[in-house]
Structure 1
Amino acid sequence: MIPTTAPVLMNFVYRKAFPEVNKELAYWRQKANDIPNKELRTQAIASMDDKKFHCQGGSVYAILSRKKWKEAVRFIVAYQTISDYLDNLCDRSTSLDPADFRLLHQSMADALNEDAPLKDYYALREDQNDGGYLHKLVKTCQEVLRNIEQVELIKPHLLQLENLYSDLQVHKHVAHEERIDRLENWFKNHKESFPELNWQEFSASSGSTLGVFCMVSYALGGKMTEELAGNIFKSYFPYMQGLHILLDYYIDQQEDLLEGDLNFCSYYKDETELQERLLYFIKQTNHNVQKLPNKIFHEMIHHGLVGLYLADPKVSKLKNGKMMAKRLIKASGRKSKFFHLNVLVYNRLAGR
């Protein structure tokens, strides 16, 4: 039964999904500790230390898999771990070679194609010996997909989402002086399809893995059709995914400024425009999930994103952060406030 109330959803998340995520991450941490190359080992471990909540957030989709929810968590953790690991490798890399970044992210495309042969994803960089760590992650995703009878219905959409994700990662990690030009030119190729967006919003929408998790989880539950796969893509891209990443960038503004990392929220002309666009994404996200089955569940995901991110302690350190959070939560709705308070309590108990 797919939950239609926030307390039932949170019960699944805290009692089943999060413990299973912890179990999967403990397995991958052990594998990461065995990586021979020091730099690769450091970044693999750091990605799990710093970004565990990405796996936790993604695991909520496992409930769509019904009896196969553990398989869904297994896929979600492996795929998200690839994403976070590669993000660290590119962010903290001495390499600025787009071909290197492209080859690294080929692993994410291969993870979504159960028949794809494994490749030497490190061939264009100095640090190479990971003891098979990245190959194991890719193979885990492929193993889960092999058990989905309807995998061919979702594969084109999965690969389209991954292609957008990889394009983004390549463009945003090159030399600083090239990044904006590359991202703006990339958006020009898609602007006709998304005239309501600007370049940083299109980029943000490409940077989420939520659509992939949603499709794989539904397919594991045996509920996939060609129409549903297409509707998930249209419902999640660009708005649900864009809201997800814009909120992520919003809370990371100070951190990214110190690290010199690209932050899409810094390209709005002022705080007022940023707030207006976040409110627009909240409205459009809610509108676009109405065509999906279990629409109340997807509405809760939207509310949960707003509540989760704006409960982060980093919000209170931002200029007018508390005021912004209050306005966005109010616009998102009563359930966002429930999730917000729930996460505040969870963070307090976890010592955050």
Structure 2
Amino acid sequence: MKVPTKPWTMMYKIYKELVPQVHRLLGEWRIKADRIPNPELRKQALISIETKAFHCEGGAVYALLAPPEQREDVLRFIIAYQTICDYLDGLCDWSDSQDPEDFFMLHQSLKHALLPGSEQDNYYKYREDQDDGGYLKELVDTCQQTLTAFPGFWNAQKDMEELSAYYRGLQVHKHVKKEDRIPRLTSWFDEHRHRLPTMEWYEFNACTGSTLGIFALAGYAARSPIAEMQSHSIKSAYFPYVQGVHILLDYFIDQQEDIADDELNFCAQYPNEEKMAARVRTFKQEAEKSVKKLPDASFHSMIIKGLFAIYLADEKVQTNPSMKKTAKRFIRFGGLPAVFFYANTWIYRRKSKEVYG
């Protein structure tokens, strides 16, 4: 089975084949979200779908690793799992709660999503807003049901859970009351630093905040009965550096917004812009090295270049002269393929507003 190895082939498959399917499936979840009885939960569920659809569009590229007959299930898993992430992120960001027990319980849904047959909890146990009409449970059920159809899932499950645990930990630590965030995040880093290459606490935290490794494992698990050793190699290729590139770029474009809202931003922790740019370049170089060990290495390399395009074509960058200047440096890191992805993403973003709103 061939996966795209050229930028133009990948762009065609993403925008002509995957994106319409992503929006069809998101449309199904939007209908369910609109039926949530509790007004606050309904509001956050709808906002997460309306404003974070590009997360699902980006994640959908990993469906190209799967054979055509499994592609729909991979897409269903990616969209359901990413929708849980985006929904819970909104609940944690915008609720009055700053209770780590609340955040931990909410994110147990992501643990159960990767463990078919596990018994679900009341994920809203520690908050006033409770009645989502079964919305979160149905998202978890969808993940569980699709994963059981993948021939390699059970050998990949341990590595998927490890990446999920990192993600869940970050969501708990970064949403607590302001004075506790950095102490918790640095302490968490100290627990893991012996297993990591040399990096700062905020870089480690960035590496934990991505779902890309989970989606790559899902794509390969749907493709064949991969061995545990193969699964571990895929996880190690994505964590820390590919996931780190992903989230550092995400925080780069959100810097001004986060500072205005008094939110923690990992890119703002660098001593200056020059140091940040140098470290992003290092992460990109190390990410490229790590994916060379994988099957379909050129596919994964294109994803890294595509990450620069997806984030740097964002309007937040285009309307900020200082940020745009740094963004141009980032684009040059990726060479001609990144420029190609950037130009096409810029055009797509503006056209998609007319189509998808």
| TM-score between both structures, scaled by the size of structure 1 | 0.98
The match for 2:313 among 304, 311, 314 is 311
1:1-20 matches, cutoff 5 A: 1-20=2-21
Cα distance in 2, alignment partners of residues 66 and 247 from structure 1: 30
Question: Which runs of at least 4 in structure 1 moved beyond 6 Å after TM superposition?
Answer: none
1:293-304 matches, cutoff 5 A: 293-304=295-306
- Matching residue of 1:212: 214
- Match of 1:66, as an amino acid? P
Cα distance in 1, alignment partners of residues 336 and 260 from structure 2: 35
- Matching residue of 1:243: 245
Contact 2:151–2:225 (CA<8 Å) still a contact in 1? Answer: no
Cα distance in 2, alignment partners of residues 216 and 195 from structure 1: 26
Query: Secondary structure in 2 aligned to 1:343?
Result: helix
Query: Secondary structure in 1 aligned to 2:66?
Result: helix
Contact 2:152–2:223 (CA<8 Å) still a contact in 1? Answer: no
- Matching residue of 2:38: 37
Overall identity of the aligned pairs, in %: 45
1:92-131 matches, cutoff 5 A: 92-131=94-133
- Match of 1:276, as an amino acid? A
- Matching residue of 1:199: 201
Cα distance in 2, alignment partners of residues 128 and 317 from structure 1: 40
Query: Secondary structure in 1 aligned to 2:195?
Result: coil
- Matching residue of 1:48: 49
Cα distance in 2, alignment partners of residues 154 and 96 from structure 1: 33
Cα distance in 1, alignment partners of residues 200 and 28 from structure 2: 40
The match for 2:228 among 226, 229, 243 is 226
Contact 1:103–1:122 (CA<8 Å) still a contact in 2? Answer: yes
Report how far residue 322 of structure 1 moved: 2.1
How many pairs are equivalent? 352
Contact 1:254–1:318 (CA<8 Å) still a contact in 2? Answer: no
- Match of 2:42, as an amino acid? R
Distance 1:223-1:329 versus aligned 2 partners, 3 A rule = farther
Cα distance in 1, alignment partners of residues 332 and 40 from structure 2: 44
Distance 1:42-1:64 versus aligned 2 partners, 3 A rule = same
Report how far residue 151 of structure 1 moved: 1.6
Query: Secondary structure in 1 aligned to 2:23?
Result: helix
Query: Secondary structure in 1 aligned to 2:292?
Result: helix
Cα distance in 1, alignment partners of residues 335 and 225 from structure 2: 29
Task: Provide the aligned C-alpha RMSD in A.
Answer: 1.2
1:1-352 matches, cutoff 5 A: 1-67=2-68, 68-222=70-224, 224-318=226-320, 320-351=322-353
